[in-house]
Amino acid sequence: MKIQMIPCLQDNYSYLIIDEKSNVACVVDPSEADPIIEYLENNKIKLKFILNTHHHYDHVGGNKKLKEKYGARVIGYKRDRERIPEIDILLNDQEIWINENFEAKVIYTPGHTLGHVCFYFYKEESVFTGDTLFSLGCGRIFEGTYPQMFDSLMKLKELPQNTKVYCGHEYTKKNSDFCLTYDTKNQNLITKIYDIDAKLKGGLPTIPSTIKDELECNIFLRSNNLETFSKLRDLKDNF
């Protein structure tokens, strides 16, 4: 399997998970269709599935056009059936979705929205976290509660540390500024910031991160209680 990052809109990432043996793919959170279509057509790849982490337009905006062009089936959390456009396959928390060589576990992660899920492709040692976990950050709490978001992040903390984290946006630099402001002596974070700056200077994405990096450097994952997490989330909202 190959994971291909597709930049979309201003700072979104969509991801193609490509079975190179059969030249078919699924896409996670297609913000818009055209960049994805361009890659698929240039590489003669057939799109079979569209996986949505949540219903926000910058994660589902390409659903309809991609479905019409390729006949791809849209997959999402069952409680978001009324909000994810063109949805076909409804999945439950902890359900294992399998189709040929594609295998992913659904992890229900409310907080940012009430229907947010992450897709853990365990064979690829990769998790697609949408707007729940970012590199060095976490999503704003729009529909859920602080306890929900804290619990969602705790679920992701339990994944193997070598798991690669593919999130929905390129927010890493701004997130690193916040982390460093409130975690000034964290040498792992300081080292990671050098790497982030080098990647951005070279025109490269800062994604993927890893669960190990996030445990060592992400101040939200380093928060071991709800009170600290909630205070930090409020501070970040006004940073």
In this predicted structure, what is the pLDDT of residue 233?
97
Query: What's the pLDDT band for 35 if we cut at 50, 70, 90?
Result: very high
Segment 174-179 shows an average pLDDT of: 97
* 26: helix, strand or coil: strand
Read off the pLDDT of residues 121-168 as tens digits, 9 standing for 90 and up.
999 999 999 999 999 999 999 999 999 999 999 999 999 999 999 999
Catalytic residues: 54, 56, 58-59, 112, 131, 169
- CA 7, 109, 211, 220 torsion-angle sign: positive
Backbone conformation region of residue 29, classed left if phi is above 0, alpha if psi is from -120 to 50, else beta? left
Segment 219-236 shows an average pLDDT of: 96
Residue 69 C-alpha from the chain's centroid: 25
In this predicted structure, what is the pLDDT of residue 160?
98
Query: What's the pLDDT band for 97 if we cut at 50, 70, 90?
Result: very high
Q: In what order do the strands lie in the sheet with 96-99?
A: 96-99, 102-108, 117-121, 126-130, 164-167, 209-210
Segment 192-209 shows an average pLDDT of: 97
Segment 195-221 shows an average pLDDT of: 97
| Other beta carbons within 10 Å of 146 | 16
Read off the pLDDT of residues 4-31 as tens digits, 9 standing for 90 and up.
999 999 999 999 999 999 999 999 999 9
**Quick one: which of 150, 55, 168, 70 has its CA closest to 109?**
150
DSSP 95: P
In this predicted structure, what is the pLDDT of residue 4?
98
Query: What's the pLDDT band for 223 if we cut at 50, 70, 90?
Result: very high
Query: Taking the model in full, what pTM does it have?
Result: 0.97
| Other beta carbons within 10 Å of 220 | 23
In this predicted structure, what is the pLDDT of residue 46?
97
- On average, the pLDDT of the chain sits at 97
Give me the count of residues in the chain.
Answer: 239
**Quick one: which of 37, 99, 43, 103 has its CA closest to 70?**
37
In this predicted structure, what is the pLDDT of residue 56?
97
